[in-house]
Amino acid sequence: MFLKKGMKVKVCVGKDKGKSGEIIEINRVRELAKVKEVNMLKKHKKPTKENKGGIVTKEGYVHLSNLKNLDEDKTKTKAKVKGKKWHQD
């Protein structure tokens, strides 16, 4: 399945099953994607000089195989060609 940043997807499996959102980030090496408002995780941050500490919620990664594409017009499709079956003689 071809997915890219900005596409609308729906989660098919897991605790967020049925939720939909837009892809924020994709990691092609690990086959993971971050979807807006899906798989929200809580992260405890220490205070620094620049930032105030506390509990921050942010999106976690979801595997690409657990996502279904909702933008059908943006997908790449290949023309189906009827090929010959290979036979061993």
| 82 lies in some domain | no
Averaged pLDDT, 45-56: 93
| 29 lies in some domain | yes
Instruction: Give residue-wise pLDDT tens across range 23-49.
Output: 999 999 999 999 999 999 999 999 999
- What does the alpha-carbon distance between residue 1 and residue 28 come to, in Å, rounded to a whole number? 12
Whether 55 contacts 70, CB under 8 Å: no
| 83 lies in some domain | no
Residue from 79, 71, 67 nearest 34 by CA: 67
Q: How many domains does the chain have?
A: 1
| 60 lies in some domain | yes
- Enclosing domain of residue 15: 8-69
| 44 lies in some domain | yes
The mean predicted confidence, pLDDT, of the chain is 86
| 88 lies in some domain | no
| 84 lies in some domain | no
| 79 lies in some domain | no
